[in-house]
Structures are given as C-alpha cells and as structure tokens.
Amino acid sequence: MSDGDILLSRLRSPDAAVRQQAARMLAMDAETARLGAVAVLAATDDPDETVREWSVEAIENCGPVKNGLLPILVEHLHHTTSSSQLILGLKLLGRSQENAAEFFPSAVAFCDDSQPTQVRSQACKTATLIAGKEEQRELRQLLETLSSDADKVVSSTASRMLSRI
C-alpha cells in the first residue's frame, strides 16, 4: 500500500483527529488528492468541520481528475444526495473539459429542475466545459431553454454560458 493509499484510507478513520490530519495533508498533496478525488469528495460531508474544510481545499487544489477515474466520479455523483458533493464533483468533472465529453449526458441530467439551484447552475457550467463537437447542438438547445428558466440564478448562468459558445 502506497503512502497515498494510506493517507486516503485515514479519511475513513473513526478518529476525527486522524481524519483531520489526512485531509490537511491531502490539501497539500494535490497529486494524491487527484488520484483519490472520489474519497476526498466524500470527506467534504464528514461530520467534523475541520475535515470538511480541508477536504474542500484538497478538491480545489487537485486539478483535473485522471481520465480513468472519471467513470467512478460520475457514478459517485449519481449516488450522492449531498448538494455540496454534487457541486464540487461537477466542478471536478468540468476541469477535464472535452476529455470528459462522454459524460455530457450526466452533466445535463443535473440541470433538471428537481436539483437545487446551485447544483443546476454548476451543471450548466460543467456541461458547457465538457461538451465535445458532437454535443454542441444539444448544448445550445439546453442553454437556450435554461436561459428562460424561472430560477434567476440558473437562467443567468445559462445565458452567460450561451454567450461563450
């Protein structure tokens, strides 16, 4: 087991102090955080506030997720009910840009009006970032529809994204 694997396993420790230290170290080790992005993402909902804060920082610092981990990330997003994990996970997905084009339908699914406003807004941004050439027409239709959404945050985000394509 590598040092990174040990560090990631410590995020699941029953001891909050151990989880805090692991999350803090991951915030300073972007490569390990990137390799364990799904575990770090899950730790953003830890019961301990310090673990949550360090985990969010680790996610913010880790850069794009490696392509082989994208399916795991997207599966995690489809199974979580946490808005904060959805927002951060969609941001991670968006960092992969067109390398994540195959997951465009997943980003679109999170634009649904059953999702909270901030999730829908981030999903618009992510869909725009990851859409490949084949998805451009569908993206334009989605953003045009959402630009007249009753939710002003969503409609504003969709209008901004529409102006970028």
Model confidence over 32-91: pLDDT tens digits?
Answer: 988 888 899 999 989 999 999 999 999 988 888 887 889 999 999 999 999 999 999 999
**Is residue 141 predicted with pLDDT exceeding 90?**
yes
pLDDT of residue 66: 81
- What's the length of the chain? 165
Lookup result for tokens 């959404």: 149
pLDDT of residue 69: 87
**Is residue 95 predicted with pLDDT exceeding 80?**
yes
The first and second tokens of residue 145, run together, are 């529809």
72 lies in some domain: no
Q: Which residues contact 92 (CB under 8 A, 6 or more apart)?
A: 37, 41, 59, 62, 64, 65, 73
**Is residue 162 predicted with pLDDT exceeding 80?**
yes
The pLDDT confidence band at residue 100, using thresholds 50, 70 and 90, is very high
Q: Do 86 and 163 fall into the same domain?
A: yes
Please report, for the chain, how many H helices and E strands are present, in that order: 11, 0
73 lies in some domain: no
Q: What is the number of other CB atoms lying within 10 angstroms of the CB of residue 144?
A: 12
38 lies in some domain: yes
Tell me the average pLDDT across 138-152.
97
What's the DSSP call for residue 102?
Answer: G
Q: Do 59 and 92 fall into the same domain?
A: no
Among 5-9, 90-94, 129-133, the minimum mean pLDDT is found in 5-9
70 lies in some domain: no
Q: By residue range, what is the domain housing residue 142?
A: 81-165
pLDDT of residue 26: 93
Q: Do 85 and 45 fall into the same domain?
A: no
71 lies in some domain: no
Q: What is the number of other CB atoms lying within 10 angstroms of the CB of residue 64?
A: 17
Rounded to 10 degrees, the C-alpha dihedral 25/26/27/29 comes to 90
pLDDT of residue 7: 86
Q: Do 39 and 89 fall into the same domain?
A: no
132 lies in some domain: yes
C-alpha triplet 111, 114, 118: angle, nearest 5°? 55
pLDDT of residue 64: 87
Which of 13, 35, 63 corresponds to the end of one domain? Answer: 63
Query: pTM for this structure?
Result: 0.86
Contact call for residues 62 and 37 (beta carbons, < 8 A): yes
Q: Which residues contact 46 (CB under 8 A, 6 or more apart)?
A: 11, 19, 23, 52, 55
Q: How many CA atoms lie within 13 A of 139 on its CB side?
A: 25
